[in-house]
Amino acid sequence: MKELVAEALQNGEEDALLDEIMTVYGQDILQLVYSYVKNLPLAEDLTQEIFVKCYQALPRYRGQAKIRTWLWRIAINHCKDYLKSWYYRQVELDAGNHAAFQAADHVEQDIIQKDEDQVLADAVMNLPVKYREVIYLYYFQELTIKELAEMTGNSQSTIKTRMRRAKQILKNSLEGTGWKID
The tens digit of pLDDT for each residue in 56-92 reads 888 888 777 888 888 999 999 999 898 888 776 666 5
Phi-psi region of 141 (alpha: psi -120 to 50; beta: other; left: phi over 0): alpha
- pLDDT greater than 60 at residue 114: no
Residues 6+ apart with CB under 8 A from 147: 69, 137
**For the purposes of burial, counting CB atoms within 10 Å of the CB of 60, is it exposed (0-12), middle (13-18) or buried (19 or more)?**
exposed
Higher-scoring residue by pLDDT: 158, 6: 158
Which one-letter amino acid corresponds to residue 131?
Answer: Y
Confidence of residue 113 (pLDDT cuts 50, 70, 90): very low
- Taking only the tens place, the pLDDT of each residue in 27-54 is 999 999 998 888 899 999 999 999 999 9
Topology at the third CATH level for domain 1-105: Rna Polymerase Sigma Factor; Chain: A (1.10.1740)
> Where do you find CATH 1.10.1740.10 in the chain?
1-105
Domain with CATH 1.10.10.10 in the chain: 106-176
Measured CA to CA in angstroms, residue 94 lies from 82, 141, 154 at distances of 15, 31, 31
